[in-house]
Amino acid sequence: MSEEIVPRDELHATIEARKEVDEDMEPAMIDAFVERIEHRLEQRADQSERALKRKRDHQREMVLGSLAISIPLFAMAAIFTGLAGIIAVCVVLGVIAIASMRS
């Protein structure tokens, strides 16, 4: 989040304009500036929430996909390789779970 909430030139322009307006207009100008800041903060919060939702959806898809593929893998591992194959399938499923949580 290196993006500035309010660009410096906009801040400086508001400060300069504040010096030139009447005292009656000063509160309205400050309120408008604060509203712009609040609006930008709300936009950032919405973007963060959407990104978090996408990440959670991706994690859920990975977990459900690995569970779906694990049933036939366990069956084949048990039939053809025994305990060593079942352990290998468990390790692979663990790696998938860890990788999906980190991405």
Residue 12 has pLDDT above 90, yes or no: no
Measured CA to CA, the distance from residue 62 to residue 51 in angstroms comes to 17
Closest C-alpha to 66, from 91, 103, 83: 91
What does the DSSP assignment read for 11-72? HHHHHHHHHHS-TTTHHHHHHHHHHHHHHHHHHHHHHHHHHHHHHHHHHHHHHHHHHHHHHH
Q: Do residues 99 and 65 touch, judged by C-beta distance below 8 A?
A: no
Question: Which pLDDT value is given to residue 93?
Answer: 86
Residues 57-92: tens digit of each pLDDT:
888 888 888 888 888 988 999 899 999 999 999 998
Q: How many domains does the chain have?
A: 1
3 found inside a domain: no
46 found inside a domain: yes
Range of the domain at 63: 8-102
42 found inside a domain: yes
80 found inside a domain: yes
User: Which residues does 21 contact at the CB level (< 8 Å), separation at least 6?
Assistant: 29
15 found inside a domain: yes
